[in-house]
Amino acid sequence: MTDPDRLPVAIDAMGGDKAPAEIVAGAVRARDELGVSIVLVGRPEDLGDAEGFEVIATSEVIAMDADPGRSVRTMKDSSLVRAAEAVRDGKACAMISAGNTGATMASALLRMKRLPGVFRPAIATPIPCPGTDHPTVLLDAGANVECSAEWLVQFAQMGAVYARHRYGIETPRVGLLSIGEEPTKGSPLVKESHTLLAEGSWAASSGGTFVGNVEGRDIMSPDIDVVVTDGFTGNVVLKTLEGGMKALVEAILGAFASSDETKAAGEVLFPALLPLYGQLDPDNTGGAMLLGVGGPCIISHGSSSATAVFNAVKVATEMVDADLVGALTRAIRPDEPT
């Protein structure tokens, strides 16, 4: 993790519900524990001494609920836009933001540009699978509300490349999210995508394999590595799981708290439940990755703590060292010299 030639990781210090305090605290942990070089991007008046980090000084902050397209176009001196520029200009190897998701995406897209041949970048989000050693990669988790079948095929390619580089899965099993396993089931988009994915020419350059349609219940199963869908469905799935897990965990904790006896029993069980809790904690996933732009871009969730930032830095440097972006480029345009 201490490659001396690696450029610093650019962190949007202003992005996220707990910015800048938790963001900077996570950067400190990454510097101290991983020896990673980091540059903070943000307003000097909010960062103070910036814990000794190099700072790219910016004057503007894009609010969490701002309109992504407009804010990125008009706020050219915002921390998000400047973080993406740092990667574009060869001043940083990757960017991380826990800020406005849409604006992060727009900044990365406008400043880093799409990789050659990429129709649309997609957000790849890890979905925890209890009992397995790696999450399922779900994409697109919200970048593209409406998609074409060709885009979904490219999501399959990019998802397979990402699953191999991120989780070491040699031949990632890619499923197409639908409402039945049969190729004849689903929306017109799904049916057309199924045909293209089954044809298989996408798989050779990405190293993935198409396992057919999968259903919602398969996402968290150990039998699948990558789930491809449009950004509307993917985002609904992601948030549905978040809400469902939260409701269930709260109900279970409520049962634990219901009497002195159950409280005592709960204390006995907590150590056994901790690994599961850790697996489900979004702070531990390293964040979502925007695939298809000209540099690694990690989108952390808005409530990111220092731990989330630490893990995002770890993933960012791993993906830089593994040359994820180069691998994506070669998978999308296998016949072109790179």
Residues lying near a copy of itself in the complex (CB under 8 A): 129-131, 142, 145-146, 177, 179, 186-188, 190, 215-221, 229, 231-233, 235-252, 254-256, 258-259, 261-262, 264-266, 268-269, 272-273, 275-276, 280
Distance in Å, CB of 144 to a copy of itself, minimum = 11
**CB 248: neighbour CB atoms within 10 A?**
10
In terms of CB distance, is 89 or 250 closer to a copy of itself? 250
Distance in Å, CB of 159 to a copy of itself, minimum = 17
Residues 6+ apart with CB under 8 A from 59: 43, 77
Distance in Å, CB of 22 to a copy of itself, minimum = 22
In terms of CB distance, is 188 or 337 closer to a copy of itself? 188
In terms of CB distance, is 216 or 334 closer to a copy of itself? 216
In terms of CB distance, is 186 or 287 closer to a copy of itself? 186
Distance in Å, CB of 320 to a copy of itself, minimum = 30
In terms of CB distance, is 25 or 64 closer to a copy of itself? 64
- Angle at CA of residue 314, ends 104 and 91, nearest 5°: 55
Cα 314 to Cα 171: distance, rounded to the nearest angstrom: 24
Distance in Å, CB of 192 to a copy of itself, minimum = 13
The distance from CA 289 to its chain's CA centroid, rounded to whole angstroms, is 3
Residues 6+ apart with CB under 8 A from 327: 161, 164, 165
Element (H, E) at 173: strand 173-177
Cα 238 to Cα 236: distance, rounded to the nearest angstrom: 5
Strand partners, 40: 11, 55
